[in-house]
Amino acid sequence: MGDIKIVDVTLRDGEQTAGVVFANKEKIQIAKMLDELGVDQIEAGIPIMGGDEFEAVKAIAKLGLKADIIGWNRAVIKDIEASLKCGVNAVAISISTSDIHIQHKLKTTRERVLENMVKAVNFAKQEGVYISVNAEDASRTDMEFMVEFAKTAKAAGADRIRYCDTVGIMDPFKIMNTIAAIKKNVDIDIEMHTHNDFGMATANAIAGVLGGAEYVGATVNGLGERAGNAALEEVIMGLKHVLGKEISQDPKKLRELSYYVANASGRKLPTWKAIVGDNIFAHESGIHADGALKYPKTYEVFEPSEVGLERKIVIGKHSGTAAIIKNLQDKGYEIDHDVAEIVLSKVRTAAIELKRTLNDRELIYIYNECLRENGLLKREA
Ligand code: MN
């Protein structure tokens, strides 16, 4: 067991990305891959929607995965009944806690929010499933009410609170202090659920852990509404390498999962995507490539193989001679420093003209051209 439990919500919140729909077969495949990765809980969908959504959750619950399977619900009995019909062993019961949501969306009162939450939790509790009570818009909720809500949920039988930064308005310091304050007042597990509207979703999730949260929710590739959610791959590797926590996931599975979800969602991964992007272990600039070639830890925190990637020394405008020599020697070519200098200047000219890096064939072509021009060629290649 890892120190912190991971809750994947790709199949529910991730699919709520505008314009994204997973086929049921894809949902099942993603659930299997998440289970192989080793996440602790998988939120599979919203059973009350019925139709394919209901069938997908039911099929995932039947797979017999190691992870708990969560059905997502409003704090409404018929929602929970639909989840239970799917055979899930966990339910998320969601209700807004901020006044802005209570007054303008639910058009009700704090008292009614507590009442409906308790009714829903009591109902689920009889069925013996794991219960997460989701405080929607928790980050804009009055602190006193937040504590009262958490205490009431615990008394009703909830196993944890999901603290939702629904609009992504928090900063890591505020999150850490807020979670610590809730934990001080109520002895209940907390799951962080953070959105990326200001680019701080992963940082806020990690900050929640520093504040005492036991669970972190995330989506593969940070998929989700608007700017998305905390990214699963960032959270897992952040817990391991930034916080130094024990993790029970196998990060080698991350890259394949990321690409599967990128394809299934039709949302291409940027090359610079943290942890799993194509360029995460690509070095071009002379100083970086030289360092990474001599001792990878100079510019890499962990080995690329840890996440199923490979180190790449890219030849381009910013390359230095060390990378040119290494690249050509690896291909069996003889090259000394003087020739490497000549090759490098031609590489720079070509890279600027083409506005891109050079491929292996282009580098070899330039190398041969240099030998020819300088009368160094032993025989025509
Ligand atoms: Mn969300």
Of 15, 79, 38, nearest to 239 by C-alpha is 38
18-31 pLDDT tens trace: 999 999 999 999 99
Q: Any idea how long the chain is? A: 381
Domains of the chain in sequence order:
5-265 (3.20.20.70), 282-373 (no CATH)
138 closest CA partner among 74, 62, 203, 194: 194
Q: How far is the CA of 164 from the centre of ligand 1 (A)?
A: 7
Q: In this predicted structure, what is the pLDDT of residue 361?
A: 93
Between CA 375 and CA 11 the distance in angstroms is 62
Integer Cα distance of 214 and 163 in angstroms: 11
Distance 273 CA to ligand 1 centre (A): 21
**DSSP-assigned states of every residue in 162-196:** EEEETT----HHHHHHHHHHHHHH---EEEEEEB-
Q: pLDDT, tens digit, for every residue of 73-129?
A: 999 999 999 999 999 999 999 999 999 999 999 999 999 999 999 999 999 999 999
Q: What is the pLDDT of residue 1?
A: 65
- E strands along the chain, which residues? 5-8, 41-45, 68-74, 90-96, 130-136, 160-165, 189-194, 215-218, 282-283, 312-313
Spatial distance between the Cα atoms of 23 and 37, rounded to a whole number of angstroms: 21
Q: What is the pLDDT of residue 379?
A: 52
**How far, in Å, from the CA of 143 to the mean position of ligand 1?**
20
CA 67 / ligand 1 centre spacing (Å): 20
pTM summary value? 0.93
pLDDT at 381: 46
- Phi-psi region at 5: left, alpha or beta (left = phi > 0; alpha = psi -120 to 50): beta
Confidence of residue 375 (pLDDT cuts 50, 70, 90): confident
Please check the confidence at residue 50 and state whether its pLDDT lies above 80: yes
